[in-house]
Amino acid sequence: MKTEKEKMIAGEYYLAGDTILVKERRKAKNLLHRLNVIEYRITKKAREIIQELIPNTGVNLYIEPPFHCDYGYNITCGDNVYFNVNCVVLDCAPVKIGSNVFFAPGVQIYTANHPLEAELRKTLENALPISIGDDCWIGGNTVILPGITIGNGCVIGAGSVVTKDIPDNSLAVGNPAKVIKKLNQ
């Protein structure tokens, strides 16, 4: 029988109020409090907090506080990843970020999903993974919805809502985001 955490990571319906998940979210919130309130500036101590919060990273993960996430351990980053201020990553499912990826202020990445049926929504939720390739730039106030894959070399315009996968080397903008140009051709 799967644990609620195993169900969550697998994209199945799970109970978010599970005691283990609540404890893990509390740990993340305590680390975020230290990062966002106590340290606030990127210091040696802030880098140590980020490493504990998001242990699966390459070199040069830079997070400009404030930053918010659910667990941290479900976020995987390559090298040279930059989050500007006010970014949110709801990482109930895995969030895979490639190398050389830049997030402008206010980017929101949502793996969390909820059933359409009202009765199920009262107790259960699920999450779908998100993948962002190498060499991407995600514009300010972009929202990336559950289950999305953004290919390598993409630029997502400010204010976009990404509701469908974006192929490699694309410029996508709008709500919903649409590819308007191929890049590097």
Please return the burial class of 19, using the count of CB atoms within 10 Å of its CB with bins 0-12, 13-18 and 19+: exposed
Catalytic residue at 114?
yes
What is the spatial distance between Cα 85 and Cα 52, in angstroms, rounded to a whole number? 19
Catalytic residue (one of 88, 114, 115, 168)? 114
- Enumerate residues 6+ apart whose C-beta is below 8 A from 40: 46, 65
The tokens of 129 are what?
Answer: 């993974």
Amino acid at the residue 19: T
Q: From the CB of residue 75, how many other CB atoms can be counted at a distance below 10 Å? A: 24
> Catalytic amino acids?
114
